[in-house]
Amino acid sequence: MNLKNLLTEQLAEAFAAVAGEPVDPVVRRSRHADFQAEGALALARRLGRPPREITAEVLDRAVLTDLCSAAQVSGPGFVNLTVADDLLGSLLSGMAADSRLGAAPADAPETVLVDYSGPNVAKEMHVGHLRSSIIGDATVRLLDWLGHRVIKANHLGDWGTPFGLLIEHLLDLGESSAAHELSIGDLDSFYKAARVKFTADEAFRQRARQRVVALQSGDEETLRLWRLLVAESESYFLAVYDRLGVLLTKQDFVGESHYNKMLGPVTDELDRLGLVTDSGDAACVFPAGFVGRDGEPLPLIVRKRDGGYGYPATDLAAIRYRLQDLGVTRLLYVVGLPQRQHFEMVYAVARQAGWLRPPARAEFVGFGSVLGPNGKMLASRAGDSVKLVNLLDEAVARAGDLARQKNPDLDPATVAEVARAVGIGAVKYADLSNDRTRDYVFDWDRMLALNGNTAPYLQYAHARIQSIFRRAAGTPTGGGSSGGAAPGGGPISVTEPAERALALELLDFGAVIGTVEQNLEFHRLAGHLHAVAVAFNGFFEHCPVLRADPQVRDNRLALCDLTARVLRQGLYLLGIAAPNRM
C-alpha cells in the first residue's frame, strides 16, 4: 500500500472516533512537512468547533508511531506528518525487490480496445494523427503492462466516396508512378491533384462517380486498384510508425472497409429496434439528449440519401462488432476533440440498441490541437498542414546537433542513437506532458531543453545514473545497474533530507500508475517522472555516492538504481527510449 493510503487509513480511524462518523482526513503531500492532513477544517465547520482543537484530539487518538516520526498541529488546524525514516526505508526496499516497482497489475484484467491513429488512405498524416498515435501508444503500453488484453485498432480511412476520384487519378498517372508517389510518402500532392481535377474537370467527375459505384458493387478490377492505394499508403504509414516508435503493426489496420458488409445488417437491426427515422430519403437515428443550436434534435445519419453509408454508420457497425464479436469491455477512442459529439452520439445509439451495457463502457479520449508559435494551428511556412515525417526528421536532426555540442567525444553511432531517442522522445513528451484536452504550442527550443519538464531532462537523469554505475563498476565493491533488488542486496535506508525527498517521490510511482490507468491523463505520469528526476538531481548534488563510505555508498547506489528503473519504466510507458549515455 502506498504511503498516502497508509496515513489516511490510520488518521481516518482517529477522525471517526472524534466525529462519531466517517471523515476523510484529506492527506496530501506538502511543502511544510512530508504530508499534511487538512480534514479537520471541514469537520470543524460542520461541528462548529475550533479546528485546532479537533486536530489535537485526533492526534491524541491516532496510532502513528510506526508510521511517523513526528505529527503536529499546524496553521489553522492542519496535521503535519513526518514519515519515519524506517518506514521509508522498508517501503523502498520492498519497491526495489518488486519487478513492477509497486505498480500492481490489474486485479480484474479486461479486454480493452484502443482506437487510435486512424490516418486516411492516400492522404497525408497530419499532427492530429500524430497526437492520436502518441497518446494511443502510451495507452496501449500502460494497459498492457497492467495485464489487460489490449486490442490495437487502427481505424484506417480506407473507404467511401473519395476513392472514386483517387482511383481515377491513379489510372491517369499510371499504376507504377502512382504507386511510387505514394510509397515515398507524397500523399498530399497525390490527394490534392485528384481534388483539383475533380473540381475543374466535368469528365473526370463523371468517371469518379462511376468508379464509386463500381467500387461499392464489388467490381474486381476496381477493387484491385483500391487495394493498391491501400497497400501503398499502409506501407508508408508503417514507416512513419517505425520512425515514431509506436507499437502499431500491419495486423492492427482494421479500416473502415472492414465494416462494409455489416452496414446493411446494422441498419436493419436499428430499424427493427424502432430507432431509425426516415428524414427525407436519409435514414437517421436521433439519440436522446443531443440537440443542435436551435434546440432541434441532432441526427446521426445511418444511410445517406443516395443509399450509401458514411462515417457514422461505420462507427456504429464498428462499436457493435467490437462489443459483440470481440468481447471488449473498455472501448477507448483516441480522437481529436472536434469529433467528441460524433462519438458521444455513437455511444448513445449503442446504449439504446442494447449493445453497450455495463460493465462495458466507451470513453472518448479526446485531445486538443497542436499550435504553431503564432498560436494558430501548426502549419508549414507555405501555410499547408505540416508533414509529419518532416517534423520527425527535424526533431532528430536538432537533437543530433545538441548531442554533438554537449558531448563532442560521442562516437557517430551513439550520436545517431541518442539523436533518435532524444528527438522523437522530445516530440512525444511535449505532447504527453501537456493536459491532452488542451491545445499546446509546438516549440522546438522548449521541448529540446535539457532543463525543465522535458524528455531530455528525464533522459539525462537516467543516463547520469548509468554513468555512475559505469564508474562504480571500475571500483572494488561497485555493482551494475540491476534489474532487481538493491545492489549489495541489503535493505535501503534513508536519513539525509535529499534522500528522503527522493524516497517520497519514488514511492508515489505505483499510485500514479493506478490513477493514469483510469483517467489516461499521461501528463500526470510525466509530471511524476519529472518530480523524480528533480529529486534525484537534488540528491545527487547533496549526497556523494561513489565517494561515500562503503555502506552509505551501497545504499545510495541502491537509490540510484531504483530511480533509474522508475525513469526507464515510466519513459517506456510513454513510448520514450532511455539511452544509457548522452
The residues binding ligand ARG (CB under 6 A) are: 115, 118, 120, 155, 157, 315, 318, 335
Q: How far is the CB of 323 from ligand ARG (least distance, A)?
A: 14
Least gap, CB of 122 to ligand ARG (angstroms): 12
Nearest CB to ligand ARG, comparing residues 124 and 417: 124
Alpha-carbon distance 451 to 473, whole Å? Answer: 28
The rounded distance, in Å, linking the Cα atoms of 458 and 262 is: 47
Grid cell, residue 526, equals: 510525466
- How many CA atoms does the CB half-sphere of 514 hold within 13 Å? 16
Q: Shortest approach of ligand ARG to residue 310 CB, angstroms?
A: 11
Nearer to ligand ARG, 255 or 456 (CB): 255
Shorter beta-carbon distance to ligand ARG: residue 131 or 398: 131
The distance of closest approach from Cβ of residue 517 to ligand ARG in the complex, given in angstroms and rounded to an integer, is 22
Closest approach of ligand ARG to the CB of residue 222, in Å: 22
How far is residue 532's CA from residue 507's CA, in Å, rounded to a whole number?
10
User: Which distant-in-sequence residues (6+ apart) come within 8 Å of 468 by Cβ?
Assistant: 545, 546, 557, 560
Q: In the complex, what is the shortest distance from the CB of residue 199 to ligand ARG, in angstroms, rounded to a whole number? A: 21
Residues 2-34, buried b or exposed e (16+ Cβ, 10 A)? Answer: bbeebbbebbbbbbeebbeeebebbbeeeeebb
Nearer to ligand ARG among residue 276 and residue 331 (C-beta): 331
3-state secondary structure of 387: coil
Residues forming a β-bridge with 36: 28, 80
Structure-block grid coordinates of residue 544: 556523494
Q: How far is the CB of 106 from ligand ARG (least distance, A)?
A: 25
- Which one, 34 or 124, has the nearer CB to ligand ARG? 124
User: Closest Cα to residue 36, out of 91, 93, 2, 74?
Assistant: 74
> Residue 115 Cβ, how far from ligand ARG at the closest point, in Å?
5
Quick one: how many helices (H) and strands (E) in the chain?
Answer: 21, 13
Cα–Cα distance for residue pair 301/310, rounded to 1 Å:
8
CA end-to-end distance (rounded Å), the chain = 36
Residue 258 makes CB contacts below 8 A (sequence gap 6+) with none
The residue (of 25 and 157) whose beta carbon lies closer to ligand ARG is: 157
**Buried/exposed 55-79: b ≥16 CB within 10 Å, e otherwise:** bbbbbeebebeebbeebebeeebbb
* Least spacing, CB of residue 190 vs ligand ARG, in Å: 16
Q: Closest approach of Cβ 475 to ligand ARG, in Å?
A: 55
Contact 349, 275 (CB under 8 A): yes
Cβ proximity to ligand ARG: between 243 and 340 the closer is 340
| Beta carbon of residue 99, minimum distance to ligand ARG (angstroms, whole number) | 35
Closer CB to ligand ARG, 322 or 568, in the complex: 322
**Residue showing cell 504511503:** 3
Q: Chain centroid to CA 366: how far?
A: 11
Residue number with CB closer to ligand ARG (155 or 553): 155
Strands 27-29 and 330-336: unpaired
* Minimum CB distance to ligand ARG smaller for 157 or for 400: 157
User: Looking at residue 110, what DSSP letter applies?
Assistant: -
Q: What is the DSSP string of 8-58?
A: HHHHHHHHHHHHSS-----EEE-SSSSEEE-HHHHHHHHHTS-HHHHHHHH
Comparison of 259 and 429: residue with beta carbon closer to ligand ARG: 259
Q: How far is the CB of 259 from ligand ARG (least distance, A)?
A: 10
How far apart are the C-alpha atoms of 230 and 513, rounded to whole Å?
A: 38
- Measured in whole angstroms, the distance separating CA 23 from the mean position of its chain's CA atoms is 34
Nearer to ligand ARG among residue 145 and residue 236 (C-beta)? 236
Q: Which residue is nearest to ligand ARG (CB)?
A: 118
C-alpha cell at 111: 479486454
